[in-house]
Chain A
Amino acid sequence: MIRNSVSTLALTAFLATPAIAQEVWVSNERDATISVIDVTSMEVVETIQVGARPRGLMFSHDYKVAYLCASDDSTIQVIDVETREILHNLPSGENPETFALHPDNRHIWISNEDDNITSVLDVEDRRIVAQIPVGVEPEGKAINRAGTIAITTSETTNMAHWIDTESFEIFHNSLVGSRPRHAEFTSDDARLFVSAEIGGGLHVFDTETFEELAEIRFEIPDVHPHDVQPVGFKLTEDMSRVYVALGPANRIAVVDAQTYEVLGYHQVGRRVWHMAMSQDETKLFTTNGVSGDVTIIDLVRGEPVKTVKVGRFPWGAAYRPADS
């Protein structure tokens, strides 16, 4: 009796304040779901049914909607952040794997993995405005803050393609190690980082000269070099750190993004792929593909604090701040 009335009260209280707490959304590739993790309680609070083989996942710059690559449905799904409902499906070209949102909050650059194409989607007109042939198995996507350069990495071609966002032309190709998976610009747009999964390194390029500034390598005691496979990574806003997911090494590397020195490693779940970082940069959430969980790392304390079970083969992760 008492318990009943309490939960009713709690429910009404919740309904009265629709504001959403800080959340991390995780796409589960083999479950066709998104797990919603409440950052404060560090629990999965909701599971959203989505399209087939969900992978790339991100929020719009205003955090009103989430975009999801439903790869095997060949669509980008738009999900309302508050109601968790799928609002509509956007054209994406075939088998979208990852994407990046232009600073204009309107154009999404998509990697069409099976067609060797980068598609540019206008989310307002809901149409593809350009398709650019790139290398085999395009994957990593990044757009600089100025909105002038889009990067596509091609996994089998082993290149980062530099694309002019106005003319849609490739104006440079940078060869990198085998199977480049992810790319990110530093917040000042001066440098580009590219991870090479089989090559085992993290490449750093000067965005003015295209010169390779460094290739960061990882040596972990008791881990075979074959298992050191950099995939996703995150740069901090002040460009002091880059956190790198090392796949089957089951580690996150902490790297000084200025000196390129590897400062240490955090043990996480099995086959870590991607990650999301809280806005205040105190917490990191890693998707551990094989173990089907998310490791939460407290970056202030410098240690993992919790493992949260999610769906099968968690792939992408995205953070949203609390509604103000």
Chain B
Amino acid sequence: MTQTPLITPTLLTSFLATGALASIDVPIAYLEMEVERPPVLTNLDPVPDDLGRMGAQLGLADNATTGGFMGHNYTLNDSVVPLGEDWLDAARAVLADHRIVVVNAPADALLALADLPEAEGALIFNARAEEEALREVDCRTNVLHTMPSYAMRADALMQFLVSRRWGDLVMITGQREADMAFAQALRDSASKFGARIRAEREWDMSSDMRRNIGQEFPVFTQDFPSHHVMLVADEAGDFGPFLEFNAWEPRPVAGSAGARPDAWSDRVEAYGAAQLQLRFKRLADRPMGALDYAAWAAVRSVGEAVTRLNTADAGDIRDYILGDAFELAAFKGAAITYRDWNGQMRQPMPVATRTALVAMTPMPGFLHQSNTLDTLGRDRPETACTAFD
């Protein structure tokens, strides 16, 4: 852009054009708990320190542009609670002057925050924790979830595999809590969609690393029964990335590594996503991850509700988001809405490798009586969440 005349005066007048509207302040908080990251086999892909936070910042920028025309003044107060500092003290302080909080924290920390007296009537977005229980027995009416659950991710992958008629599977799981949770979701999903996990093995990290990976994994996978695809539940990205091309059988890898189902992938470009990816890259100087997407969607959901309602009241915003009128254009091909029985955001989900999109789920042919997006994850009749009734 070589010429930028008139920007300042016109910007001013465009605001003035709607200046008759009463201005509304919409303060949003983003609160993150720093967590210790487990050591992994390779350090080539460090987890960005601002994962999630940059997504919230982009959501703020998107909201602010619209807000400029509407007289809505959005702010984002983002803070990280360092290791060793008191999480709930920080949460109380944030809740004292913010009724809308986007949380990037593990499940137990999120629940503890949501159960604070100060959190009553607040609107809390879970942008990180994938645990099923948060949407089921531990659901809270003041918590909405923009991050998909383990079950949603597993269903997305399983729909793809079943569509390809690749129903014979084996699975390798890590030993960490998240690995076991995702592995269980994959087992449940295989049974839901009629696939077969014919054998499982745990990677116990005690292998003889005096030999290299190319010698270790073939032996480890040698006596698996015949299969179409090897599933891996290794959520920290520890050994999973090394499985492909190093197993006994030349089979594709899917799950935590290989073809990975997730809330987002930087490989998505259809549905206008190329623009979102570019906006994010300009802001954060790195590709957009699932956590960024979940935080972005939370802030944008608030923006969409405020735009339509012309209020910043957390209760009104929550009710609107859970209602029939809400829909958010979120660059995945279908409007984003929320499940009114547990506050989970419905969403199409990409299955992608590091280099290319494999499929956008739900896959064609997986039908549902009211919303095909509800073929991903637990559906209304199965829910154990009663708080929303």
The answer to whether A178 and B328 have CB atoms under 8 Å apart is: yes
Task: Report the interface size class on chain B.
Answer: 35 or more
Task: Check: A157 CB closer than 8 A to any chain B CB.
Answer: yes
List which B330-375 residues lie within 8 A (CB) of chain A: 333-335, 371-373
Q: Which residues of A contact B11 (CB under 8 A)?
A: 133
**Are B6 and A131 in contact (CB-based, < 8 A)?**
yes
Mask: chain B, 291-335; 1 = CB below 8 Å from A; 0 = not? 000000000000010011000000000000000000111000111
Of B12-20, B98-106, B183-191, the one with at least 4 CB within 8 A of chain A: B12-20
Q: Are B275 and A173 in contact (CB under 8 A)?
A: no
Interface locus among B61-69, B88-96, B196-204: B61-69
Contact with B along A143-167 (1 / 0, CB 8 A): 0000000000011111101000001
- B5 located at the interface, meaning its Cβ lies under 8 Å from any Cβ of chain A in the complex: yes
Q: Are A133 and B7 CB-contacts (below 8 A) given A157-B65, A158-B307, A198-B327?
A: yes
How many A-B pairs have beta carbons closer than 8 Å: the answer is: 103
Question: If A158-B307, A178-B327 touch, does A133 touch B10 (CB 8 Å cutoff)?
Answer: yes
**In chain A between 145 and 201, which residues have their CB closer than 8 angstroms to a CB of chain B?**
154-159, 161, 167-173, 175, 177-179, 197-200
A: contact size bracket: 35 or more
Chain A residues in 8 Å Cβ range of B4: 131
Q: Are B17 and A131 interface neighbours, CB within 8 A? A: no
Minimal beta-carbon separation of A313 from chain B (angstroms): 10
Q: Which residue of A lies closest to B368 (CB)?
A: A224
Q: Let me know if A115 is at the binding interface, CB within 8 A.
A: yes
8 Å CB contact of A169 from B5, B10, B70: B10
Is the CB of B212 closer than 8 A to any CB of chain A? no
Q: Shortest distance in angstroms between B277's beta carbon and chain A's nearest beta carbon?
A: 11
Residue from the set B10, B11, B272, B328 with the largest chain A CB neighbour count within 10 Å: B10
A134 surroundings in chain B (CB, below 8 A): 14
Q: Indicate whether A52 reaches chain B with its CB closer than 8 angstroms.
A: no
Q: Which residues of B contact A173 (CB under 8 A)?
A: 17-18, 69-70
Contact A137–B308 (Cβ < 8 Å): no
Residues of chain B contacted by A133 (CB below 8 angstroms): 7, 10-11, 14
In-complex Cβ contact of B6 among A93, A127, A168 (8 A): A168
Report how far A94 CA is from B328 CA in the complex, Å: 26
The reply on A308 being an interface residue by CB < 8 A is no
CB-CB under 8 A from A178, the residues of chain B are 304, 327-329, 335
Q: Are A159 and B69 in contact (CB under 8 A)?
A: yes
Docked pose: A33 CA to B278 CA in angstroms: 23
Residue pair A127, B3 in contact (C-beta under 8 Å) = yes
Closest B residue to A167 by beta carbon equals B13
B43, CB-defined interface residue at 8 Å: no
User: Once the chains are docked, how many angstroms separate the CA of A308 from the CA of B285?
Assistant: 42
Among A135, A155, A172, A200, chain B packs the most CB atoms within 10 A around the CB of A135
A172 touches B17 (CB 8 A): yes
Contact B1–A93 (Cβ < 8 Å): yes
Mark contacts of A59-85 with chain B using CB atoms, 8 A cut-off: 1 yes-contact digit, 0 otherwise.
000000000000000000000000000
B2 within 8 A of A: yes
Whether A226 pairs with B335 at a CB distance below 8 angstroms is: yes
User: Which 5 residue pairs across A and B have the least CB separation, nearest first?
Assistant: A178-B329, A198-B329, A179-B329, A157-B66, A170-B14
11 A-B residue pairings within 8 Å (CB atoms) = A94-B1, A116-B65, A127-B3, A131-B7, A135-B69, A136-B65, A154-B65, A155-B272, A161-B69, A178-B329, A198-B335
